[in-house]
Structure 1
Amino acid sequence: MIRALVLTAVLAASSASAQDQVVSAPGAMLRGLDKVNGQTVDVELGKGETAQVFGLDVALGDCRYPVDNPTGDAFAFLTIWEQGAQQALFDGWMIATAPALNALDHNRYDVWVIRCITPSAD
């Protein structure tokens, strides 16, 4: 019974996501927080770029947003590791409207997605 309910939920989500088309953006706007001193910094990253956010290196794999709402919900694929370390602290998708859903787990720093950088209309 439980498997049937889970399967139904997965199929419903799949059909809903098929209707909601997304576009890959050329970059993303991220925000970093130093929890010790309360300092924040906004960082603009292009796809495939890596930037330093306090004591972390953050790489952007992709940023996607809904076709019909470019300023709406953004989700970005990030890889985050401490500077000089080999092991990634975070490697996955972050969602702008639900940063706690899949968040970086670090004792001092926090990083989350603000929005995708959409191509400007000429």
Structure 2
Amino acid sequence: MKSFLPLLAMACSLAMPINAQQAVSSGTGAELRILDKVSGQSSNYELASGASLQVGQLTVALRACRYPEGAPANDAFAYLDVSETETAVSVFTGWMVASSPALNAMEHSRYDVWVLRCKTS
């Protein structure tokens, strides 16, 4: 009986319809949270699309921020380029999802970066 439950759960998940394409809107920028793991200090920053900022030893560039159409506070996802400021070595490049930061997390020994939400005009 116990081995039947995982099979039932998998069958139910496969039977649910999947919305592969959801209508999205582009934000004018994003709100990010950056944690310095050494000092324990976290700060929020607003960044316009196409702009970059330097925080400690990192340079964070926001290429785009998108959100479900009509709901800018829900499930934002942003395309970020993060690099070491002094060496220009890339630390992270890709989409980061606000509701699931671990889905595509930045791996850095000192800093964590999260997307909080998109900004609209």
TM-score (norm 2): 0.82
| Equivalent pairs, count | 106
Unaligned ranges ≥5, structure 2? 1-13
Which position in structure 1 is the counterpart of 2:111? Answer: 109
Q: Matched residues in 1 for 2:20 and 2:49: separation? A: 23
Partner letter of residue 20 of structure 2? S
Q: Matched residues in 1 for 2:31 and 2:72: separation? A: 13
Q: Matched residues in 1 for 2:34 and 2:56: separation? A: 8
2:80 equivalent among 59, 78, 81: 78
Unaligned ranges ≥5, structure 1? 1-8
Q: CA deviation at 1:68?
A: 3.0
Alignment root-mean-square deviation, CA? 1.4
Which position in structure 2 is the counterpart of 1:17? Answer: 20
- Higher-Rg structure is 2
Which position in structure 2 is the counterpart of 1:100? Answer: 102
TM-score (norm 1): 0.81
Q: Matched residues in 2 for 1:17 and 1:71: separation? A: 21
1:54 equivalent among 53, 56, 76: 56
Q: Matched residues in 2 for 1:116 and 1:97: separation? A: 12
Partner letter of residue 42 of structure 2? T
Q: CA deviation at 1:54?
A: 2.2
